[in-house]
């Protein structure tokens, strides 16, 4: 048994009145964050110790009593206190030597990363949620909520309001219900190809909406900046971006859930997405080749969220008692899945694989997926690594090799 954290996100059924109140809550929370942050930054500047939660909470009560900041009283206290806790966390993280990537917290702007958390004071009753001061709000319950509810966060994006319900679940980490193993390759013509021959078409959500987006953006450029029409158009674009993100997210979640339920072990190629998208252009000394074709490929990889897909797949598999194994082997796209003959010549076009040795012909992405499965299952990748000097230990049995290298 192990504990996992999970969040469910649902769209709230808001009306103008509720939206105005929520927006005011967000505004107050943002104000408290920014004001406390400003105080602390000043103190850092003058080499004074920064204020932690307790001192800041004291300041908060003073602000609430003042005429100037009296509006803070209209917002539930826990929401504002939570912002102070978040700020304390952010400062502790940025001074933590174990988290070198954390930076000094920044001021929050209206509309970006606006979210308010309710650590308590809320209630959930089937399809509605109770928030302090506001009361009951319905939400579009798209799936069952299981686990112990820890807290909820209300946020807005693209003019819509959402609630994210954070729960803690006890998970039985048993065996996966199947023993199925599968290899998956990022396709060039499709989103993904499986070693069993399945090809998954991508949504190409961005491409499909790209023209529309470009047209709307041109319209925006023609409008006077700051005018009512300009604002309306800007909202329209924000909504379009939002739609694209939703379509993509839905596609990835459905696909990763299905795979994690049907297969216990999933082999994927170790990918360096960053390298792939930066290397095409090359350097001044060594300009890249086929820059245009490569940037197209990179774009579609980034567009379709292959990276996010793998991330989801990994955690969903672990919930099911399965696992994802990364395979490192360079020739998966040039090797024949039938006889093992490896040659560049095998791949005349991007879509079709034709073996020069045995004449085997197959979709190139499926062939690569089969190779990934074989390489993963036999530990060939590890052999290859050992030969290239990465791993010097003598080979053991298959499990040993796999656990050493992968």
* Chain positions contacting Zn ion, by CB under 5 A: 336, 338-339, 341, 355, 357-358, 360
The answer to whether residue 239 is catalytic is no
Task: Supply the minimum distance, in Å, between the C-beta of residue 357 and Zn ion.
Answer: 5
Strand partners, 51: none
Task: Supply the minimum distance, in Å, between the C-beta of residue 371 and Zn ion.
Answer: 11
Task: Supply the minimum distance, in Å, between the C-beta of residue 360 and Zn ion.
Answer: 4
Quick one: 212 or 339, whose CB is closer to Zn ion?
339
Count the Cβ atoms, other than its own, within 10 Å of residue 365.
Answer: 25
How far is it, in rounded angstroms, from Cα 174 to Cα 6? Answer: 19
Which member of 88, 114, 185, 303 is catalytic? 185
What's the first-to-final CA gap in the chain, in angstroms? 25
Count the Cβ atoms, other than its own, within 10 Å of residue 140.
Answer: 10
Here the tokens at position 19 are 């939206």
Here the tokens at position 131 are 């928030």
Torsion, Cα 159 160 166 169, to 10 degrees, reads: -140
The answer to whether residue 269 is catalytic is yes
Determine which helix (DSSP H) or strand (DSSP E) holds 327, and give its type and residue range. strand 323-327
Quick one: 38 or 339, whose CB is closer to Zn ion?
339
Quick one: 262 or 363, whose CB is closer to Zn ion?
363
Task: Supply the minimum distance, in Å, between the C-beta of residue 378 and Zn ion.
Answer: 17
Burial 329-363 (b: 16+ CB within 10 A, else e): beebbbbbbbeeebeeebbeeeeebbbeeeebebb
Q: Which residues contact 265 (CB under 8 A, 6 or more apart)?
A: 180, 181, 182, 322, 323, 324, 325, 376
Task: Supply the minimum distance, in Å, between the C-beta of residue 309 and Zn ion.
Answer: 30
Which member of 88, 114, 303, 365 is catalytic? 365
Quick one: 216 or 362, whose CB is closer to Zn ion?
362
The answer to whether residue 383 is catalytic is no
Which member of 239, 269, 308, 399 is catalytic? 269
Quick one: 247 or 338, whose CB is closer to Zn ion?
338
Catalytic residues: 185, 269, 365
């Amino acid at each position: 048994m192990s504990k996992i954290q999970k969040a469910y996100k649902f769209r709230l059924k808001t009306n103008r009145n509720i939206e105005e109140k929520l927006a005011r809550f967000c505004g107050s929370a943002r104000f408290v964050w920014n004001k406390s942050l400003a105080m602390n930054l000043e103190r850092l500047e003058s080499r004074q110790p920064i204020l932690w939660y307790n001192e800041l909470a004291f300041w908060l009560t003073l602000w609430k009593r003042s005429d100037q900041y009296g509006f803070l009283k209209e917002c539930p206290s826990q929401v504002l206190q939570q912002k102070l806790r978040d700020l304390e966390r952010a400062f502790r993280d940025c001074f933590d030597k174990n988290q070198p990537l954390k930076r000094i917290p920044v001021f929050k702007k209206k509309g970006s990363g606006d979210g308010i958390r309710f650590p308590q004071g809320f209630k959930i009753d089937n399809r509605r949620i109770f928030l302090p001061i506001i009361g009951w709000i319905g939400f579009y319950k798209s799936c069952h909520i299981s686990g112990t509810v820890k807290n909820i966060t209300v946020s807005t994006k693209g003019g819509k309001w959402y609630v994210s319900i954070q729960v803690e679940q006890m998970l039985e980490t048993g065996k996966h219900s199947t023993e199925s193993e599968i290899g998956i390759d990022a396709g060039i013509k499709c989103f993904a190809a499986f070693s069993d021959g399945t090809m998954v078409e991508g949504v190409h959500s961005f491409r499909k909406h790209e023209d529309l987006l470009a047209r709307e953006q041109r319209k925006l450029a023609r409008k006077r900046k700051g005018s009512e029409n300009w604002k309306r158009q800007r909202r329209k674009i924000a909504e379009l971006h939002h739609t694209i993100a939703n379509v993509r997210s839905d596609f990835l979640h459905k696909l990763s859930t299905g795979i994690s339920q049907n297969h216990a072990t999933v082999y994927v190629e170790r990918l360096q997405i960053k390298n792939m998208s930066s290397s095409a252009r090359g350097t001044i000394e060594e300009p890249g080749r086929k820059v245009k074709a490569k940037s197209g490929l990179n774009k579609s990889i980034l567009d379709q969220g292959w990276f996010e897909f793998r991330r989801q797949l990994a955690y969903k598999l672990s919930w099911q008692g399965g696992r994802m194994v990364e395979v490192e082997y360079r020739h998966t796209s040039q090797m024949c899945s039938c006889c093992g003959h490896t040659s560049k010549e095998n791949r005349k076009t991007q879509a079709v694989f034709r073996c020069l040795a045995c004449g085997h012909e197959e979709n190139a992405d499926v062939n690569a997926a089969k190779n990934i499965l074989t390489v993963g299952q036999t530990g060939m990748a590890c052999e290859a690594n050992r030969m290239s000097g990465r791993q010097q230990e003598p080979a053991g049995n298959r499990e040993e090799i796999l656990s050493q290298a992968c």
